[in-house]
Amino acid sequence: MWIDQDSHLLLKSEMLDDEGDVLEMVMFTEIRLHDTIEDELFTPSISGAEYTWYQYTQESLDDNQTPGAANWQLTWMPAGFQLSVYDGHSLTQENDPLEHMVYSDGISTVSIFIERVGAARVIDSGALNLGGVNVYSKTTNGFQVTAVGEVPQPTVMRMVNSLATGN
């Protein structure tokens, strides 16, 4: 990481693989810093009224729909990482709830998605690399567990494989 000493802004970052090769690079090619920012620049460009939001709380979910955040625990996570977000929701009213947990060390994040696998659905399991992002998915105990993270492939695999239920 290249950080400006005066403004403390991240100017450039590189994500490296295990051999030290650059997987992903983000950098400014030009930057202008202003002493003040006009208030109208903070006005959102969309209102959100055009979206339909479905929010489920653990209390609103039937025990047969989802295992609950307290029942899914990582038995291993990378040093410095902790759970920063938990959300149980559905993409539509017809779908089973999807659990989403985000783990972070303040720089990198790993999202873990847990959803019940229906009898008619066939889900692929395995690993995928998309530049600096790694994905690993597997089916366990009738649930599809998928991790997506800005961490090495073995890390997302180990996190998914360490996920256990209290049931």
pLDDT tens string 28-67: 888 888 889 899 888 888 877 777 765 554 454 444 343 4
Domains located in the chain, CATH noted: 63-165 (3.30.200.100)
Report the chain's mean pLDDT, rounded to a whole number.
80
| 91 vs 13: which has the higher pLDDT | 13
Model pLDDT, residue 100: 87
Model pLDDT, residue 89: 63
The answer to whether 147 touches 112, Cβ cutoff 8 Å, is: yes
Q: At 44, list the tokens.
A: 């959102």
Question: What are 107-135's pLDDT values in tens digits?
Answer: 899 999 988 876 556 567 888 888 789 99
Report d(CA 57, CA 90) in Å as an integer.
Answer: 11
Model pLDDT, residue 71: 67
Q: Place 72 in a pLDDT band, splitting at 50, 70 and 90.
A: confident
Model pLDDT, residue 62: 45
Non-local (6+) Cβ contacts of 120 within 8 A are none
Q: Place 80 in a pLDDT band, splitting at 50, 70 and 90.
A: very high
CA atoms within 13 A on the CB side of 157: 8
| 61 vs 74: which has the higher pLDDT | 74
Q: Place 103 in a pLDDT band, splitting at 50, 70 and 90.
A: very high
